[in-house]
Structure 1
Amino acid sequence: MGRTRAGLLAGAALAFAGQGLRGSTMQSVATAAGVAKATLYNHFRTKDELARALLAAELDRLTALATELPPAAALTALADEVAGHPVLRQLAHDEPAVLTGLLATTTEHWAELVARLAVALPADTAAAELVARWLLAVVLQPGDRPGRRAAAARLAQLLAAA
């Protein structure tokens, strides 16, 4: 990913975390990224396109994180990351309908997410799908850190036994 695109996505994350998706404008994203609005429009035509790109970049980041850790630690890290993600928390608090709309996915995108988790953990497809569903639940209802960690440890045990 290029430096400009990465900066634009970082600006989007700042704007969305502070003002939500609906409350943010392309101008507020450009300001947060420290660029002119025209620069933002050269890369992203709409705020929805920008939000999808930010989501894709975060999935890439989380997949890379999981790949570097043993399964139990990966599950804990993934749960902590999605539970504490500033954009997700902002949307869950102020714009739950927007959040559920972003989380809804096509069959093809779901299969891609499951396949990426299967490689990152490593796990079979059924186990990776269970992990994906659990992580979606954590996005919607993060619970407390000890509870997430206990659930991650138990899920890791189930994956190891499979």
Structure 2
Amino acid sequence: MLPSPVGPSLSWHGPAHLPGAHTRSGNAMGRTRLGLLTGAARAFAEQGLRRSTMQSVAAAAGVAKATLYNHFRTKDDVAAALLGLELDRLTTLAAGLPLEQALGALSDELGAHPVLRRMAETEPEALARLLAVDADRWADLTGRLAAALGVDGEAAEIAARWLVGVVLQPGRSSARHRQAARLAQFLTATGAATSA
């Protein structure tokens, strides 16, 4: 046993495993899953959602198809997990920014997102289905957006509808940023913004 750097009676045994805490194997599985989703994003951006296969997703991720199937049963499962990961990334990006900057940043991300742009060009009907979420998913989305932007639920719904419009018709970044500024002014003026 190595001597402890904090005193002779204490020894270091490594991190204690707590229920729900990550283990090395759990971290490796998380890295593998993240790599698979990164490959899926690459495959979906290059080929579109419809033309991508589990084989092309595995190839883009640099793994065997069996590895992909160890994590996901279907391409729809891969797409749903990628969507969840992207929602987490985008809400983290927006959280803590002033409202106008957060709306501008979200519009830039959605307006230039490679998978969404590919779908808009080659699979507009699939993109429309993706954006036409049911009431429960819409409530989850607007709830996340409300928390990230520091606005109430109604303001989050207005922002979400504007962002869906950005996905469908991104336009120029400068125009989106002007719109984000106006939307932030409106939400602030109506008292919907709980923090700036």
**Number of residue pairs matched by the alignment:** 162
Q: TM-score, normalised by structure 2?
A: 0.81
Q: Secondary structure at the match of 2:87?
A: helix
Identity among equivalent pairs (%): 64
Q: Work out which structure has the larger RCO, using CA pairs closer than 8 Å and 6 or more positions apart in sequence.
A: 1
- What SS does structure 2 have at the residue aligned with 1:7? helix
Match of 2:124 in 1: 96
Q: Taking structure 1 as the reference length, what is the TM-score of the superposition?
A: 0.97
CA shift, 1:79, in A, is 0.2
Q: After TM superposition, give the deviation of residue 48 of structure 1 in Å.
A: 1.0
The 2-side partners of 1:155 and 1:135 are apart by 11
The aligned residue for residue 151 of structure 2 is: 123
Aligned equivalents of 1:91, 1:129: Cα separation in 2? 24
Between 86-95 and 140-149, the greater mean CA deviation after superposition: 140-149
* Alpha-carbon distance between aligned partners in 1 of 2:95 and 2:49, rounded to the nearest angstrom: 30
Map 1:97-112 onto structure 2 (within 5 A): 97-112=125-140
Say whether 1:40 aligns with 2:65.
no
**CA RMSD after TM alignment:** 1.0
In 2: Cα distance, 1:88 partner to 1:50 partner: 15
CA distance in 2, matches of 1:123, 1:152: 14
2:107–2:163 CA contact under 8 A, matched in 1 = yes
Q: Does the 8 Å CA contact 2:96/2:149 hold for their aligned counterparts?
A: no
Deviation by residue 1:42-78 (Cα, 9 ceiling, x = unmatched):
1111111111111111011000000031111100000
Report the equivalent of 1:61.
89
2:38 paired residue among 10, 31, 44? 10
Matched, 1:83 2:111: yes
d(CA) in 2 for partners of 1:22, 1:116: 28
Ranges in structure 2 where 5+ consecutive residues have no aligned partner: 1-26, 191-196
2:142 maps to 114
Taking the aligned partners of 1:138 and 1:125, their CA distance within structure 2 comes to 20
